[in-house]
């Protein structure tokens, strides 16, 4: 989808029959991405209602919440975000949390993205990927260096042998 947009050929993607676009989550979300990029939020909202069952609920609900905000349906957006976030946090699934964070970022939902970054650092370390895969979270803690340091200090205790985490602690302690 990104290539179609960058090459100003989104119309080509939109010419693919809808039934074919519903065949896989990747094709489905490609069309959705194009509609969103083109600012066609009403069409994107309608398309999302056609989502195949293979598209994860967390993805569908996060996009529904973000679209509701774009369409000035604030109370619906708040309710959807809350349910989606509460479920992801209660299940302590990194994949769900990162999906919410990325969708929130994509839609400019900074408060939601910040909340999810914080929630990710509170997940059990065993539910998190290797330390290097978490480096992107640093931008969310620029104004909270002690909290960021505390996260990295607890990480190696629970996942010994992760050299990146040890390196982060040393860097944060000696170059605050």
Q: Please provide the DSSP assignment of 47-113 as one string.
A: HHTT--TTS-HHHHHHHHHHHHHHTT-HHHHHHHHHHHHHHHHHHT-HHHHHHHHHHHHHTT-HHHH
Q: State the pLDDT confidence band at 3, using cuts at 50, 70 and 90.
A: low
State the average pLDDT for the chain.
Answer: 88
Task: In whole angstroms, give the CA distance from residue 77 to residue 64.
Answer: 7
Say how many C-beta atoms besides its own lie within 10 A of residue 79's C-beta: 13
Q: Running DSSP on this structure, what letter comes out for residue 17? A: -
Q: State the pLDDT confidence band at 7, using cuts at 50, 70 and 90.
A: low
Sign of CA dihedral 19, 96, 99, 164: negative
Task: In whole angstroms, give the CA distance from residue 141 to residue 136.
Answer: 10
Is it the case that residue 176 has pLDDT exceeding 70? no
Say how many C-beta atoms besides its own lie within 10 A of residue 118's C-beta: 15
pLDDT of residue 110: 95
Q: What is the pTM for the complete model shown?
A: 0.83
Is it the case that residue 8 has pLDDT exceeding 80? no
pLDDT, tens digit, 9 for 90 and up, residues 71-130: 999 999 999 999 999 999 999 999 999 999 999 998 899 999 999 999 999 999 889 999
Rg (CA), the chain: 19
Please classify residue 175 by burial: count the beta carbons closer than 10 Å to its beta carbon, then call 0-12 exposed, 13-18 middle and 19+ buried.
Answer: exposed
């Amino acid at each position: 989808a990104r290539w179609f947009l960058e090459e100003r050929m989104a119309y080509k993607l939109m010419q693919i029959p809808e039934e074919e676009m519903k065949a896989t989550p990747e094709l489905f979300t490609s069309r959705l991405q194009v509609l969103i990029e083109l600012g066609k939020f009403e069409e994107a909202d309608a398309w999302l209602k056609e989502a195949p069952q293979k598209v994860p609920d967390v993805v569908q609900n996060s996009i529904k919440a973000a679209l509701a905000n774009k369409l000035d349906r604030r109370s619906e957006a708040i309710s959807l975000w809350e349910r989606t976030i509460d479920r992801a946090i209660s299940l302590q699934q990194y994949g769900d949390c990162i999906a919410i964070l990325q969708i929130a970022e994509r839609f400019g939902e900074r408060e939601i993205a910040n909340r999810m970054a914080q929630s990710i650092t509170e997940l059990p370390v065993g539910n998190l990927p290797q330390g290097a895969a978490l480096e992107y979270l640093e931008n969310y803690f620029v104004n909270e260096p002690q909290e960021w340091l505390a996260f990295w200090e607890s990480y190696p205790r629970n996942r010994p042998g992760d050299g990146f985490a040890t390196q982060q602690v040393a860097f944060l302690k000696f170059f605050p």
